[in-house]
Amino acid sequence: MRTYKTIRHLQNRLDRYRKEGKSIGFVPTMGALHQGHISLIEQSNKKSDITVCSIFVNPTQFNVKEDLDKYPRTEVQDAEMLKKAGCDILFLPTENVIYPPNQDNSYHVDFGDLEKVMEGAHRPGHFAGVAQVLKRFLDIVNPSAMYMGQKDYQQFTIVRALLKHLKSKTKLVMGETVREADGLAMSSRNVRLTKKERSIAPLISKALFDAKSKLGKKSIAKIKKEALEQLDIPEFRVEYFEIADGISLQAIKSLDGVKTAVACTVVHLGKVRLIDNVILK
Ligand code: AMP
């Protein structure tokens, strides 16, 4: 695996691969890698000739400074994991490389209703930051395919809209959420849970999977009410639990005319904000 910190060196290498007719798969991450990230690398390895992984903790997508400051950083271990997984290129830019001080780094796309709900409603500016950093990475890497996780379902939907807006040729591929044996969705933030918090965290995915098992048997309102009851324990602070149309992301009241539905939740446990979702249909 080759590691690049500058755009010029990375692009020289990628241009050489392109001239050889090789396809480039890209997995953007913020590091503190786990099997969820690695599963995306493995998918890219299977479908693309060359896999590029970026690690960049993007400050513009954090709306809470403490979350950014406490975001785990495990670069050495990450590089080892990527090497083992067969990643070809690790791109490790600094903030000045991604947002050069002498350049206008502003970028804005109006995602309409997609960004007004769930994460968009609770994390002001988050998706603007996500779009800004991904536009930059797409310009730099220009991948044939980009691999992103279902774990951040709304982010995936926003990125799909971004690629459409850019008329980009990059194909967007969704990787299934990888979970711990007890159902907890893998997340870089899980290491910040205490032992006690970690032991109750799987109740979040249980509420989501239980909701899925009730689909078609109970009303959406009842399913949502029961999920909120399940999550109503002193250790949890539920930010939202929504059952939404999987395409428009707007909350639904019934399955009539709905092609795909998704249950999405965010729960605060101790100092950690945990996000998860299950595709219901
Ligand atoms: P992050 O480093 O958290 O920004 O995540 C980088 C990419 O990995 C995003 O596309 C995430 O959706 C994806 N990802 C994070 N956790 C998981 C998981 N448990 N399973 C699958 N993909 C994941």
The confidence score (pLDDT) of residue 121 equals 97
**What pLDDT, on the 0 to 100 scale, is given for residue 54?**
98
Answer for the pair 48, 24: CB distance below 8 angstroms, yes or no: yes
Residue 243 pLDDT: 98
pLDDT digits (tens, 9 = 90+) for 125-159: 999 999 999 999 999 999 999 999 999 999 999 99
Q: Please, how many CA atoms are within 13 Å of residue 115, restricted to the half-sphere of its CB?
A: 20
Say which of 9, 37, 122, 165 is annotated catalytic. Answer: 37
- A 10 A CB-CB count for 168 gives 15
What is the pLDDT, as a whole number, of residue 177? 98
State in Å: Cα 217 to ligand 1 middle.
32
- Contact status, residue 37 vs residue 27, Cβ threshold 8 Å: yes
Q: What is the value of pTM for the model shown?
A: 0.97
C-beta of residue 84 within 8 angstroms of C-beta of residue 53: no
The residues of the chain scoring below 70 in pLDDT are none
- Pocket around ligand 1 at a 6 A CB cut-off: 29-30, 36-37, 39-40, 148-149, 151-152, 175, 177-178, 185-188
Annotation says 108 is catalytic:
no
Residue 200: predicted pLDDT: 98
Which amino acid residue places its CA nearest to atom 22 of ligand 1? 149
Q: What is the Å distance from ligand 1's center to 148 Cα?
A: 7
Give me the residues paired with residue 28 across strands: 54
Which pLDDT score, from 0 to 100, does residue 102 have?
A: 95
How far from chain centre, in Å, is Cα 134? 12
Q: What is the CATH number of domain 2-175?
A: 3.40.50.620
Q: Where are the domains of the chain?
A: 2-175, 188-276
pLDDT of residue 270: 97
- For 188-276, give the CATH class: alpha beta
